[in-house]
Amino acid sequence: MQGALKAGLLAAPEIMVSDVSADRLKYLAEKYGVQTTANNVQALRAAENILLAVKPQSCGSVLDEIQAVNKPDQLIITIVAGVPMAQIDVRQNLRVARVMPNTPALIGQAASAVCFNPRAAAPDKEFTLRLLRSIGAAIEVEERDLNAITGLSGSGPAFVFRLMDYFVQAGEGLGLAADKARALVYQTFAGSARLAQESGRPLADLIAQVTSPNGTTQAGREVLEQSAAGQIIGNTVRRAKERADELAGGR
């Protein structure tokens, strides 16, 4: 919502938010000037496009309300993890976009993947991609890839934060003050990611660029690359993907 408003894609009076929390509705109305309601049906009847952002365990009751309103001219954009488009469009009469964003959306740096069902038209795709790109980067994919993307980039920030925490702990273990270790680690991760994006060079080339023969980086790399780190990361992402599969199967 913040990204769409900032990008001029939507104006505040065009947005209605429905939520079970009165405090949350009050906050959003005051901060962004949007319309609010505690009644999902009211929001569904008024909306041209619906952004479905609920917990998977709450999805069933909301889908019942969507089906009860039954406005097939609406576009449903769902970010509900593990719930396939067929479960959203049980009557096979809705236009659906399924999205896997991630939490850096909060600062306009999301990595989002989106797929569309066959009823979604070109304007639906254009609007959805513009919406997602107002909060970061977005790519279109096939739905069969979305659970893998959930494990990779949807859950990925938590894994990256854990790695950052390990680096901070390593710095503290070497005698650095915690605040200094954090500052250096945060900027090292941010700067490395930006360099990788902007240089366009293969990661292997960037690794080699930092590594001098018989130097400090090579010494550290030998420990890292002789460990099971690659396998552990692979297993971590794979298990997150498998859990997305389980959620899709109702487990």
**Which residues are part of a known binding site for NADPH?**
40
Binding residues for NADP(+): 53-56
d(CA 48, CA 149): 28
Decide: residue 182, CB within 10 A, 0-12 exposed, 13-18 middle, 19+ buried. middle
CA torsion, ordered 234, 236, 239, 240, to nearest 10 deg: -110
Q: 219 exposed, middle or buried (CB, 10 Å; 0-12, 13-18, 19+)?
A: exposed
d(CA 168, CA 104): 20
32 with 5: CB under 8 angstroms? yes
DSSP 136: E
Known binding-site positions? 40, 53-56
Alpha-carbon span 134 to 2, nearest angstrom: 9
Cβ neighbours of residue 45 under 8 Å, at least 6 residues apart? Answer: 69, 71
Q: Which helix (H) or strand (E) holds 221?
A: helix 216-225
In the block, which residue shows the tokens 């969507």?
66
